[in-house]
A and B are shown apart, each in its own frame.
Chain A
């Protein structure tokens, strides 16, 4: 697994596939470089979502992004889930399969949230063993993302970049660096995101995530319902250059606007690929005081269910 071939990670600029955009995509076949699909929304689909993804996979590179693997949970890995994931990945020719360094539940319950792990040597060894099991079943390296976190656990003895670097070294897994999550987690923990990124194992990164967040009264929430913030763009500039242009994807989950708006936001990335990190701009973004806005909903996943109502009709009484 350690000498897995290159994952071909220069896909360009991609968009997270969302139910509300299905009609637009099938009609327009927009000039997007690639799509990322939430694995769980398609792996059991016998209906339109599965059909739409199959159509898209014929025309665009597709990557699968999961939210329920729960790699850090104390529950046994769900082998049936992993087998279905593999089948979906093979069916759509997924370039890679990713999930998060987190746990989503325990005791058989799924919170559908990406919950924080205590970052210790003991947990590292446990997660590394599980990554190996997953990679065996998937038959390919797993790609893991840094989650956004709102709690710093006293038990943690490792910084997140160190934890991820060690995980890569032990398992040959790859990384998905979410620069918005870096901004959010570092801001909430009172840490400098530059120092976080200085410690990050960029050589293992195959993909970058961009998203919008919301400032709450005391901290920042990763809401995925806004344009990308200026501070995050600055971090993207750094990440893009240090990864040599890794595949970049915009996630937009809450209040999803029209596809063109999401695409236009993604294409702003071109403005931030070259040039030096603007420290003044980043510092200003980090210093910006809390907003009085009501706290948003942390939205690490595309949780909206497909609109069945939108594709449902009542036939004439004549029958």
Chain B
């Protein structure tokens, strides 16, 4: 590996020790007694326990900070159990703790006991947990990832022509099987929501001035915004939507024109769009 080229090679005894100690943290039940005596002064077992407890508690707390609504939904004890299992399956491999939850939603989905059942037969509350985790992770990524704040001068005004309106590149378009954004913000407001009924939700997640907002939209609007993203502008997105729906373009354009004040303007004002860079060729 080029990364290790020109780097000093470690003493063998150090590698043995580190493999052993990390193993004792990640898989505490495997840390054997005799080995302990060889490596550390007594009463080392107690003190190794300090590292072991702190390891799992610290990372579990971090995960709970990344998934506060899921933690509320599961209750702290069950959440901790999941966190423990997850960390065993996916110990951190990043220099940053902020990456810890990246694989958590997919891991929850992979762990579900009913994963082999047909979609309709699966437990609704597990679907909810998976969707809520997905929503929380997307929000976390949006919060600390690259954002639109340095491109304020490209924010369009309502009079910007459709051909020049492109989707703001950091916008997240999300679909879930439950109203997860509603649930999340109920938790935020300090209320104690119960698990909602299954109800498909489409939403736009947006960051502005380093704060995130979730805009509930209709499924059709979400499809449209997806077309705008794929095709590069609102104009081209209308063409795309007409194709996807198998409807005449004129009909789609008329529907969009009718939403000029009710949808188009608020979307622009909310920050859904950016002014497309002028095309230099063709």
The segment from B37-45, B76-84, B111-119, B122-130 found at the interface with A is B37-45
Are B53 and A297 closer than 8 Å at their CB atoms?
yes
Q: Is A283 an interface residue (CB 8 A)?
A: no
Stretch at the interface among A6-14, A45-53, A160-168, A233-241: A45-53
Q: Does A29 contact B (CB under 8 A)?
A: no
Known: A118-B17, A303-B62. A221 touches B26 (CB 8 A): no
- A73: B residues at CB distance < 8 A: 18
- Please name all residues of chain B whose beta carbon is closer than 8 Å to the beta carbon of A155 when the two chains form the complex: 13, 17, 39
| Chain A CB within 10 A, most for which of B65, B93, B143, B213 | B143
The number of residues on chain B lying at the interface, defined by a beta carbon within 8 Å of a beta carbon of chain A, is 78
A15–B136 Cα distance when bound, in Å, is: 31
Q: Are the CB atoms of A40 and B14 closer together than 8 Å?
A: no
B13 & A130 in contact (Cβ 8 Å cutoff) = no
CB of A46 within 8 A of CB of B146, answer: yes
A305 touches B97 (CB 8 A): yes
Tell me how far the C-beta of A256 lies from the nearest C-beta in chain B, rounded to whole angstroms.
Answer: 13
Residue of A68, A118, A299 near B96 (CB, 8 A) is: A68
Report B199-221 CB contacts with A as 1/0, cut-off 8 Å: 00000000100111111110000
In the complex, B140 has a CB within 8 A of chain A? yes
Q: Is the CB of B96 within 8 A of A40?
A: yes
A319 touches B145 (CB 8 A): no
Give the complex CA separation of A30 and B210 in angstroms: 22
The listed residue (A117, A126, A151) touching B8 by CB distance below 8 A is: A126
| Segment of A104-112, A174-182, A265-273 engaged in the interface with chain B | A104-112
Instruction: Pick out which of these stretches binds chain A: B153-161, B235-243, B263-271.
Output: B263-271
A187 to B223 Cα, complex, angstroms: 63
Bound CA span A152–B44, Å? 8
Tell me, in angstroms, the Cα distance from A319 to B205 when the chains sit together. Answer: 13
Q: Which of A80, A123, A298 contacts B50 (CB 8 A)?
A: A298
With A48-B143, A312-B139 in contact, do A298 and B51 touch (Cβ < 8 Å)?
yes
In angstroms, Cα B69 to Cα A155, docked, is 46
CA distance A108 to B6 in the complex (A): 19
Q: Report A-chain residues with C-beta under 8 Å of the C-beta of B144.
A: 44-49, 306
Question: Does B28 touch A at the CB level, under 8 Å?
Answer: no
**Chain A contacts with B in 137-156, Cβ cutoff 8 A:** 150-155
Across the interface, name the chain B residue whose C-beta is closest to A149.
Answer: B47
Minimum Cβ distance to chain B for residue A92 (Å): 17
CB-nearest residue of chain A relative to B101? A305
In angstroms, Cα B22 to Cα A108, docked, is 11
Q: Is A170 an interface residue (CB 8 A)?
A: no
Is the Cβ of B92 less than 8 Å from the Cβ of A46? no
Whole-angstrom distance between the alpha carbons of A123 and B167 in the complex? 54
How many Å lie between the Cα of A295 and that of B7 in the bound state? 39
With contact pairs A46-B147, A111-B22 given, residues A151 and B62 touching in the complex (Cβ less than 8 Å): no
Q: Is A90 an interface residue (CB 8 A)?
A: no
A interface residue count range (under 10 / 10 to 19 / 20 to 34 / 35 or more): 35 or more
Asked if A319 contacts B217 (CB within 8 A), the reply is yes
- Complex Cα distance, B254 from A66, in Å, reads 57
The distance from the CB of A165 to the nearest CB of chain B, in whole angstroms, is: 20
Binary flags per residue of A277-319, CB closer than 8 Å to B gives 1, else 0 = 0000000000000000001011101011111111111110111
| Set of chain A residues within 8 Å of B54, measured between Cβ atoms | 113, 221, 297-299
Closest-CB distance, B181 to chain A (whole angstroms): 6
Contact of A133 among B7, B69, B91, B97 (CB under 8 A): B7
Q: What is the bound-complex CA distance between A299 and B59, given in angstroms? A: 11
Which B residues from 133 to 171 make CB contacts under 8 A with A?
136, 139-140, 142-147, 149
Which residue of chain A lies nearest to B5 when distances are taken between CB atoms in the complex? A76
A122 to B266, CA, bound (A): 66
| A46 / chain B contacts, CB cutoff of 8 Å | 144-147
A228 CA to B145 CA, complexed, in Å: 36
Q: Please, which residue of chain A has its CB at the minimum distance from the CB of B146?
A: A46
Checking B15, B53, B55, B143 against A295 with a beta-carbon cut-off of 8 angstroms, the contacting residue is: B53
Q: How far is the CA of A41 from the CA of B181 in the complex (A)?
A: 26
When distances are taken between beta carbons in the complex, the residues of chain B under 8 Å from A110 are: 91-95
Tell whether B29 is near chain A: CB-to-CB under 8 Å.
Answer: no
Chain B positions 237-280 with a Cβ under 8 Å from a chain A Cβ? 263, 266-267, 270
A47-B145, A126-B10, A304-B65 known; A221 vs B50 contact (CB < 8 Å): yes
Q: Could you say which residues of chain A place their CB within 8 Å of the CB of B187?
A: 309
Residues of B within 8 A of A120 (CB): 11
Please determine whether B18 and A44 come into contact, CB atoms closer than 8 angstroms.
no
Say yes or no: A47 contacts B210, CB within 8 Å. Answer: yes
Name which of A78, A106, A123, A188 has the most chain B CB atoms within 10 A of its CB. A106
A–B complex contacts, Cβ < 8 Å, 20 sampled: A46-B147, A48-B144, A51-B149, A79-B3, A111-B25, A112-B58, A133-B7, A154-B39, A188-B47, A295-B53, A297-B53, A297-B57, A299-B58, A301-B97, A305-B65, A308-B143, A313-B211, A313-B213, A315-B215, A315-B270
- Using CB atoms and an 8 Å cutoff, list the residues of chain A in contact with chain B: 40-41, 43-49, 51, 68, 72-74, 76-81, 103, 105-113, 115, 117-118, 120, 122-123, 126, 129-130, 133, 150-155, 188, 216, 218-219, 221, 295, 297-299, 301, 303-315, 317-319
Chain B residues within 8 Å of A, Cβ to Cβ: 1, 3-4, 6-8, 10-11, 13-15, 17-19, 21-22, 25-26, 38-41, 43-44, 46-48, 50-51, 53-55, 57-59, 61-62, 65-66, 68-69, 91-98, 136, 139-140, 142-147, 149, 181-182, 184-185, 187-188, 207, 210-217, 263, 266-267, 270
